[in-house]
């Protein structure tokens, strides 16, 4: 596979993240950058809801259910607009700002795409991580079953009814099916489109909603959005957490709609009240955020809470009597509802046992320097965000509601990170950060949502001060060619500075996580080469045994061959347990051969003893030393990777 094919697949994945939501955004009356920004979380809603309803309608996972849900949601939006036309006011369209917003998002997207693709190394590289095994298998499962519903994807490693957020897997499977690319290329295209298309559009629009439509602010937001390694870079190598990356990528767009709905943004008069059309658009975005990943919904609720309180306080202050009491009660009711929701959205207790990563003082220092997860100090980002924060606090021209709204997200992220990274009290951690698995990287990835608007304001403040003094005053204040040229040079310099050591270290982590080499922990070069020949050596109906910890499980997603273990953690039947314990001792007619026959186990992959984690070793006695067991014959080998056929049961 070539980079051109990956680029084409990224384009298809990007279209799937924008086009399905466009009819609803247009039917709602949105235009310009607001229509584009709303289209991303609305597309997430369309994709995830379509995946849920498709099997109930007897439809395979394809563009058909996506189109049906897109048209239904657009029709509903059009009907709401017609019924509530008296209150349907979306505000003016600022043509110049629309182009600058799109340009800033394009700048961030181009930088992120180039840097992340470079770190990827090859279009077909795969995440050499524990969770990567499941995600690749889940995409193959969707392609095989034609079902991308959360209940179906949960069956990859479980035979009990459960839920697993499958929006990412549905997106990747559709990308593979529409383009015909290799599965790993489709997966890479999906997460690159989320990181370089969905995320920049949303975060630049959120910055505009909070900080205004100044050209300097918007372009700076684009530059900063591509220069904070906490997202999307962190989630591209930690885990790897593809579903959470998807949820966080569409989150800022939904937040931008909420800013307009609550009337706490730059385009709203303080205390102007709730705006019905924006409320309905925001509500339509919520299912997409939630079904991409419930933790993204928890983040949305937590980050919206200060804005709800600000809006409620403004409305109560301008009301009297019973109405004031109602607004106060509604605001407090929201807080209680969010607290309850965060307890419901928690994973099982055994999935949230992560300890703090340091002390409270260390966590404070990491937040102050944008160096979460013990990362490299992001010097430029630090200077810009503190400049913006100080300028905001000292501002006398902005209403207090506006300043509080911009500072709200940083305040929420600070509280969450201090608890998850620096406090060991288990009750407090479960209460505050249980929805994030008490796992600090899942909270750290929210940092850019807080940082980008502040840093963009910091750039605007520095630019203003440069224009207020010295020989640059005339140039910076000019709107002609000379002023434009200086601004563009400044933008290029800023973008380059933001790609410094902190980003380089983050991208190095991606490169290590995706590198396929002779000594890769999950899938080495030899092992992958052997898997590429399985089509000619293993019948489609045969099942391959092998230790999933060593990467043999990847025969399923990469070679489209059935495997005994689709993940390292899965429900194990008595037959599977017997085969796992005693396959090397199998003899014709015994219980082991009977179990192997019921499971269709005919082959064994031996990928040595190097495991994906250092938590092992994880012994699978029945698969050990097949060459000396007498139960197998060697079929093929590539270096130390070997494929055996079970002959003892012939």
Q: How far apart are the first and last CA of the chain?
A: 39
Helix (H) or strand (E) holding 203: helix 199-211
CB atoms inside a 10 Å sphere around CB 335: 13
Q: Annotate 499-514 with b (16+ C-beta within 10 A) or e (fewer).
A: bbebbeebbebbeebb
Reported as a single tens digit per residue, the pLDDT across 351-393 is 888 999 999 999 999 999 999 998 899 999 999 999 999 999 9
CA distances from 600 to 531, 544, 566, 603 (A): 19, 8, 15, 9
Q: How big is the CA angle at 51 (ends 47 and 56), to the nearest 5 degrees?
A: 140
Question: What are the φ and ψ backbone dihedral angles of 637, each rounded to 5 degrees?
Answer: -150, 150
Is 49 buried (19+), middle (13-18) or exposed (0-12) by CB count in 10 A? Answer: buried
Whole-angstrom distance, CA of residue 263 vs CA of residue 246: 27
The neighbour count for residue 415, using CB atoms within 10 Å, is 14
Q: Which of 279, 241, 294, 301 is nearest to 48 (CA)?
A: 294
* Displacement of CA 20 from its chain's centroid (Å): 19
Domain layout of the chain by residue ranges: 3-511, 525-646
Q: 3-state DSSP call for residue 321?
A: helix
Mean pLDDT per block of 10 residues along the chain (650 residues) reads 91 98 96 96 98 96 97 97 90 86 95 96 93 95 96 81 90 97 97 98 97 92 95 92 97 97 83 86 97 97 95 84 88 95 92 92 95 91 95 88 92 97 94 96 96 95 76 54 73 90 93 91 94 94 94 95 90 92 92 95 94 83 91 94 93
CA 109 to chain centroid, in Å, comes to: 15
Any residues with CB less than 8 A from the CB of 282 and at least 6 apart, and which? 254, 257, 258, 261
Residue 76 contacts by C-beta under 8 Å, 6 or more apart in sequence?
24
Helix, strand, coil fractions of the chain, as percent rounded to 5: 70, 5, 30
**Under a CB-based contact definition with an 8 Å cutoff, are residues 363 and 444 in contact?**
no
Rounded Cα gap, residues 440 and 420, in angstroms: 5
**14-30 CB burial, b ≥16 within 10 A, e <16:** bebbbebbbbbbbbbbb
| pTM for this predicted structure | 0.95
* Gap between the Cα atoms of 474 and 477, Å rounded: 5
At 471 the pLDDT is 54
CB 599 within 8 A of CB 579: yes
Residues 9, 215 contacting (CB under 8 angstroms): no
C-alpha–C-alpha distance, residues 503 and 233, integer Å:
8
Contact 440, 420 (CB under 8 A): yes
Residue 161's pLDDT is 63
Distance CA 516, CA 125 (A): 6
Cis bond leading into 356, ω under 30°?
A: no
Q: What is the pLDDT, as a whole number, of residue 418?
A: 97
d(CA 444, CA 363): 11
Give the pLDDT of residue 160: 63
Distance CA 284, CA 276 (A): 12
Report the distance separating Cα 465 and Cα 68, nearest Å: 53
- 601-606 sheet: strands from edge to edge: 562-563, 543-545, 601-606, 641-646, 632-638
Q: Hey, what are 294's tokens?
A: 């419930």
> What is the C-alpha to C-alpha distance for residues 367 and 378, in angstroms, rounded to an integer?
10
Residues 6+ apart with CB under 8 A from 567: 133, 134, 137, 156, 157, 548, 553
d(CA 231, CA 1): 27
CB 363 within 8 A of CB 374: no
- Residue keyed to tokens 């809470």: 305
| The pLDDT value given to residue 475 | 53
Pairing of strands 601-606, 641-646: antiparallel
């Amino acid at each position: 596979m070539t980079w051109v094919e990956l680029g084409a697949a990224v384009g298809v994945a990007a279209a799937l993240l924008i086009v399905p939501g466009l009819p609803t955004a247009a039917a709602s009356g949105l235009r310009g950058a607001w229509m584009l920004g709303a289209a991303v979380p609305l597309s997430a809603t369309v994709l995830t809801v379509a995946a849920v309803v498709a099997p109930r309608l007897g439809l395979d996972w394809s563009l058909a259910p996506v189109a049906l849900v897109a048209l239904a949601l657009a029709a509903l939006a059009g009907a709401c607009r017609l019924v509530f036309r008296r209150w349907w006011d979306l505000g003016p369209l600022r043509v110049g700002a629309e182009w600058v917003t799109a340009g800033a998002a394009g700048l961030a997207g181009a930088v992120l795409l180039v840097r992340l693709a470079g770190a990827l190394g090859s279009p077909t590289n795969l995440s050499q991580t524990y969770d990567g095994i499941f995600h690749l298998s889940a995409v193959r499962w969707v392609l095989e079953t034609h079902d991308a519903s959360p209940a179906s994807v949960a069956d990859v490693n479980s035979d009990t009814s459960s839920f697993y957020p499958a929006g990412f897997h549905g997106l990747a499977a559709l990308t593979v099916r529409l383009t015909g690319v290799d599965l790993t290329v489709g997966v890479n295209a999906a997460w690159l489109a989320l990181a370089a298309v969905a995320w920049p559009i949303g975060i630049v629009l959120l910055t505009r909603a909070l900080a205004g439509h100044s050209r300097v602010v918007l372009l700076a937001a684009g530059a900063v959005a591509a220069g904070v390694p906490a997202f999307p870079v962190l989630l591209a190598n930690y885990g790897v957490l593809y579903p959470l990356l998807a949820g966080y990528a569409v989150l800022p767009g939904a937040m931008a709609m909420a800013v307009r709905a609550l009337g706490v943004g730059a385009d709203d008069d303080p205390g102007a009240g709730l705006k019905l059309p924006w409320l309905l658009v925001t509500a339509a975005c919520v299912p997409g955020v939630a079904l991409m990943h419930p933790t993204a919904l928890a983040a949305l609720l937590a980050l919206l809470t200060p804005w709800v309180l600000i809006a409620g306080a403004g409305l109560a202050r301008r009301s009297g009597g019973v109405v004031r009491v109602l607004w106060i009660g509604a605001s407090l009711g929201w807080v209680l509802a969010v607290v309850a929701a965060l307890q419901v959205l928690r994973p099982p207790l055994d999935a949230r046992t992560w300890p703090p990563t340091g002390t409270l003082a260390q966590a404070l220092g990491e937040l102050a320097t944008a160096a979460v997860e013990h990362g490299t100090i992001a010097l430029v980002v630090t200077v810009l965000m503190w400049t913006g924060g100080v300028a905001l606090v000292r501002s006398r021209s902005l209403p207090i509601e506006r300043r509080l709204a911009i500072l709200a997200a940083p305040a929420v992220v600070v509280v969450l990170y201090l608890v998850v990274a620096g406090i060991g009290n288990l009750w407090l951690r479960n209460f505050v950060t249980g929805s994030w698995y008490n796992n600090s990287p899942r909270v750290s990835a929210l940092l850019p949502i807080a940082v980008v608007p502040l840093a963009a304001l910091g750039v605007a403040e520095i630019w203003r001060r440069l224009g207020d003094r010295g020989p640059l005053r005339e140039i910076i204040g000019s709107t002609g060619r000379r002023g434009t040229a200086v601004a563009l040079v400044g933008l290029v310099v800023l973008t380059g500075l933001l790609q410094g050591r902190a980003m380089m270290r983050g991208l190095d982590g991606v490169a290590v996580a995706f590198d396929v080499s002779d000594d890769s922990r999950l899938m080495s070069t030899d092992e992958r080469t052997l898997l590429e020949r399985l089509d000619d050596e293993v019948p489609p109906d045969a099942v391959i045994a092998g230790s999933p910890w060593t990467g043999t499980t990847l025969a399923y997603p990469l070679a489209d061959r059935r495997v005994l273990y689709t993940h390292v953690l899965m429900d194990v039947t008595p037959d599977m347990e017997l085969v796992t314990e005693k396959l090397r001792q199998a003899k014709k007619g015994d219980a082991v051969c009977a179990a192997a026959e019921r499971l269709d186990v005919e082959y064994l992959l031996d990928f040595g003893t190097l495991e994906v984690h250092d938590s092992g070793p994880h012994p699978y006695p029945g698969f050990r030393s097949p060459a000396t067991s007498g139960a197998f014959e060697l079929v093929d080998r590539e270096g130390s990777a070997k494929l055996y056929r079970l002959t003892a049961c012939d």
